Amino acid sequence: MNILVCISKAPDTTSKIAFTDGNTKFDENGVQFIVNPYDEWYALVRGIELKEANGGSVTTITVGGADADPIIRKALAIGADKAVRIDAAEGDPGSVAAQIAAYAKDQGFDMILTGKETINYNGGVVGGMIAEHLDLPYISLATKLDMNGGVAEISREVQGGVEVVEVDGPFVLSAAKGMAEQRIPNMRGIMAARTKPLEVVPAADVASNTAISTYALPEEKGDCTYVDADNPAELVRLLNEEAKVL
């Protein structure tokens, strides 16, 4: 089974969010970067599990500069077989998807896995866009993926429940919680990652349709109004009369 997993670089979840250049750029000062958790914990680990059970290989793909290499090495340490980095500045989701689709087009992947969204841009559209470029079926927010022969059985979150679907490969899927359990790389994995191939390929010529013009921080909350623990009726009154939510 030939599996492609899309890996993106994201700021650690505890990062302080600040901006520079007149609020047009994310301030990377002191920020630790990690593999986007959905990509790592769910998409990558499930890809590796399927390979371990059925044979084949797991390739990761990342659109970005050399500063993404440390997080790519982490994915290799967890168990991917090889990595590809498309040497383009990480642009808008449309251009990232177009880059990945241009690479994947004639590589014969049986499935392309992404995380359900990145924790920095929270778009969740790269997988669907890759699927449309390649004219493949797309299953978003998948919580379970099993292979029975060439047929995939997938559970996905929908409004009010879980839908179980069947699809013949190849397909594109975005992974959510439930898909797999996080794996911590061990020493052997980390050593092995050093010798695994990280192929850098030139960027395709793709355009961007969107750009982030400015960033802002949400408005600060006012002070918390405390209510006595013995008098929750007062809380109910405040929620009804002051906040008007009951």
Ligand X SMILES: Cc1cc2nc3c(=O)[nH]c(=O)nc-3n(C[C@H](O)[C@H](O)[C@H](O)COP(=O)(O)OP(=O)(O)OC[C@H]3O[C@@H](n4cnc5c(N)ncnc54)[C@H](O)[C@@H]3O)c2cc1C
> Contact positions toward ligand X, by CB under 6 A?
13, 37
Within positions 215 to 234, which residues make up the interface with other proteins, using CB under 8 A? 215-218, 221-222, 224-230, 232-233
147 contacts other proteins (rule: CB under 8 A): no
Which of 89, 164, 184, 187 forms a contact with other proteins (CB under 8 A)? 164
CB of 148 to ligand X, least distance (A): 32
Structure tokens at 17: 């969010």
State which residue, 67 or 168, has the beta carbon closest to other proteins: 168
By CB under 8 A, residue 1 contacts other proteins: no
Beta carbons within 8 Å of 10's beta carbon, 6+ residues apart: 33, 34, 35, 36, 37, 118, 119, 120
Question: Would strands 171-175 and 138-148 be described as parallel, antiparallel, or unpaired?
Answer: parallel
Contacts of 207 (CB under 8 A, 6+ apart): 95
Q: Tokens 């994201």 label which residue?
A: 10
Selection from other proteins, ligand X, none that 124 binds (CB < 5 to 8 A by kind) is other proteins
Measured distance CA(102)–CA(203) in Å, rounded: 9
127 binds other proteins (CB under 8 A): yes
C-alpha dist (Å) from residue 128 to 8, 201, 236: 16, 23, 44
Q: Scanning residues 39 to 58, which ones bind other proteins (CB under 8 A)?
A: 41
- The size of the interface with other proteins (CB under 8 A), counted in residues, is 83
Q: Which is nearer to other proteins, 18 or 203 (CB)?
A: 18
> What is the C-alpha to C-alpha distance for residues 63 and 204, in angstroms, rounded to an integer?
11
Contact pick of 89, 184, 187, 211 for other proteins (by CB under 8 A): 211
29 binds other proteins (CB under 8 A): no
Does residue 121 interact with other proteins by CB under 8 A?
A: yes
* Closer residue to other proteins in complex, CB, 152/198: 152
Q: Measuring CA to CA, how many Å separate 197 from each of 63, 66, 110, 132, 157?
A: 16, 14, 21, 29, 35
